[in-house]
Structures are given as C-alpha cells and as structure tokens.
Amino acid sequence: MDQIIVQGNGPLKGEIPIAGAKNACLTLMPATLLTDQPLTLTNAPRLSDIRTMTSLLQSLGAEVAPLQEGQVLAMSSHALTSQHADYEIVRKMRASILVLGPLLARYGHAEVSLPGGCAIGARPVDFHLRAFEAMGAELDLRDGYVRAKAPAGGLKGAVVDFPVVSVGATENALLAATLAKGTTVLKNAAREPEIVDLAQCLRRMGAQIEGEGTSTITIQGVETLNGATHPVVTDRIELGTYMLAPAMCGGEVECLGGRIDLLAAFCEKLHEAGISVEETARGLKVSRKDGPVKAVNVVTKPFPGFPTDLQAQFMALMCVAEGTSVLEETIFENRFMHAPELIRMGANIEVHGGHATVTGVENLRGAPVMATDLRASVSLILAGMAAEGQTTVSRVYHLDRGYEHVVRKLRGVGADIERIKEE
C-alpha cells in the first residue's frame, strides 16, 4: 500500500490544471444506459472511481472504451445484456446507485445492490426510492438488493417533493424522468453545478428539461433519447483543494479552468481569511503574500453554500489561522475523522457532535498520519505542506478516487512531495 511523503517547503508558485469533475462524470456515465446511441464525454478525469463505474457499466453489457488522450470517454449501450448491478462492484462506490433510474426507465425493471463508499456517515437511498415509487415503480428490498419494476407502459410523470435536499436522489430521479410518460416535477431539488451539467448533457441527448440550478426542475418525458458529445464540468472540489495550497503555504498559484461561480461561498470565506482570489483569462489566481491567515467560521450547506467536500481541507487552513474558528458540519454526521490526525500534527481542535472548534497554532509539525476518507487524505497533505518537518500519509488509496496526478500537480508549483510504495 502506497504512502505520500510531504516536507514543508515554503511558498508555492506556478499553475495547476483542474480536471473534469469526478462527481459530474460519475453522474453522466449512467446516462449512456438511457439510449442505444453513443454517448461521448470529454474532459473526463482519470480516477479509480471512473474505472469502477466503467466496470459496472461493462458488467451490464455497455461498451466503454479505455479513456483516450484528451480525456475522452466513449460509451455505448446499444446491446445491454443485464439489468443486474452486482454487489461486488456496487459496494465500492455509492454513485453506483445511479444506474437504477436509467435501467428502470429504459427497460422497466432493474436489480441493483445497495451501495458502499467512503465511511463518512449514513447516506441512505430512501429518497431515490421514494422518487421511483412516485413514478409508479414497485420496489422490493431483499438480500441487500433493490428490485424495481415499472408499471405497464413504463414510469409515469409525477411530482416528487424531496424532504431534504439530496444530490444523488435528484440525479437519479432526473435520469429516470427523461423517459417517463408525462411531466415530472422535482421539488426541493439539489442545485449543484453537477446537476446543471447532467441536465445540459441530457438536453443534448434530446431530453426536455427546465429549471436546473433552481430548487424546482421540470422534465417532460420523451419516447427515446439520442447520442451526444458533452464536456464534463470543471471539478469544483479539486479546484477548492488546490486554492487552499497557497493559502496555507504562501505564494501564488493560478488554477487553470477555475471559476468563482462554482465556489462563490468558499471564495467568500477565503476572502474573510485574508486570501486573495482573482479571476483571470485562464482561471483563478490565489495568493497569500503578507500577514497571517484569519480565523473564520464555516457552516457546510447544500449548493450554493459552503461544500461539505471542502470542510476537511478548510479545517487544515484554520489550524494555522490567527484566532479561533468553528466549523459546523450539517451534511454528514461523521465527517470529522481527520481531526485526530491533524491533532497528531500539533493542531488544537475540539470536536463536539457536528461542531469542531479550531484554535490556530503558530506551526504544525510533521508526523505519521492516516487517511480515513477521500477528502481527509488531501487535507493531511495540505497540512504536511505547511508543517515543519516531514509528514507521512498512509492509506492514500482514498486519494486515487478523487484526485488526478496530485503529486505531479503539487510538485509543479514547488511542493516537496513524493509517493512511495509502502514496505
């Protein structure tokens, strides 16, 4: 198992290209199941989660070509052989549940294992299932599988009012509704850029969708969808992560492809903390040249609020800020597992339920630490880059699920970082 070794190395300088969004790509890939014509995604990231979704689609009989140069992902579901998504693949990644809606909508039945993924709290699929029931599906949960059957004539348009905002449930319902008979209205829908990206791709495929990016999305079902070519939106979580590197270490880094509208709430918090963010012709330029980082409070919220997927990384910044900050996690109930590892590096953090109180220290100290999930792993790398001495991060396989070429990108702006094979 690999480790990442980080040595505190002072200010950063240069540029980092930002990849296509993992979460968007994982949502777009199941859209191939809705049509017998080719779907091609450009700007697709090279990540282990993308490979897992590829394996899942191939297990259903879809053709998925190896990721080509230029990050082109070509897929076709013209001859599916199965509507059964097996546990051995689905357990690796929660996004696997997104094949349920397309299979149910196109074929009228599906059998999909309940999913796995990062251990950061309960992420139930209840809201997905309620949406399908509203469209007339019959559901049977047995032996760890969801067995779903559409009514005669296919899924029916319906009003789906989500009790809480759910990105995954919004995506699954949106995918299914494109082929449902009549009009489907999704209320209290998620507003994330990944939802907007999915709607834009589906519209290219012939779907009739209005309201993406708002809390009410209206879909008029169509008989069939066609193929399309669609560019994956910039990964806003990778963007925010690399924006924090110069914030912690000092210096100036330009994040190529970055846009403030993808991370407005996050950028506001960086500004409050004393970090400069400028839009450029190529992306976003982030710098911290003078003065200490200031402590600021953060509450994670659904988009357009502060992203839960940047909470761990922002906590690392607050560990070296001047003053005391409070980070409140409202999305997942078990997402402070990185705090004990940061404490090993000298951070002053107290966790009480969904709140973490962070009192900044003058310097973090390098230490052996262990990644507990995807975002925690990169928060420890950021902390190591700003710490005195050497930090060794173990269990970095989490990192491969969401960050493409992280060592290469950070080295490119001056970080002292390497990946080694664990003995």
Residues designated catalytic:
118
Cα dihedral sign for 118, 122, 125, 128?
Answer: negative
Q: Any binding-site annotation on 120?
A: no
| Distance in angstroms (rounded) separating the CA atoms of residues 97 and 79 | 21
The CA angle 99-103-107, to the nearest 5 degrees, is 175
Whether the CB-CB separation of 221 and 180 falls below 8 Å is answered with: yes
256: left (phi over 0), alpha (psi -120 to 50) or beta: beta
User: Strand ranges (DSSP E) for 216-305?
Assistant: 216-220, 228-231, 251-256, 276-279, 283-288, 298-299
Which residue pairs from 91-95 have beta carbons closer than 8 angstroms and sit at least 24 positions apart in sequence?
91/115, 91/116, 92/52, 92/116, 92/117, 93/26, 93/49, 93/52, 93/53, 93/117, 93/401, 94/118, 94/123, 94/168, 95/23, 95/26, 95/27, 95/49, 95/53, 95/168
| Distance in angstroms (rounded) separating the CA atoms of residues 284 and 12 | 15
Q: Any binding-site annotation on 23?
A: yes
Q: Any binding-site annotation on 411?
A: no
Q: Any binding-site annotation on 309?
A: yes
Q: Any binding-site annotation on 22?
A: yes
Whether the CB-CB separation of 175 and 30 falls below 8 Å is answered with: yes
Give the DSSP per-residue string, 294-332: BP--EEB-STTSB-GGGHHHHHHHHTTSBSEEEEE--S-
Helix (H) or strand (E) holding 74: strand 73-76
Binding-site annotation: residue ranges for UDP-N-acetyl-alpha-D-glucosamine: 94, 309, 331
Binding-site annotation: residue ranges: 22-23, 94, 309, 331
Binding-site annotation: residue ranges for phosphoenolpyruvate: 22-23
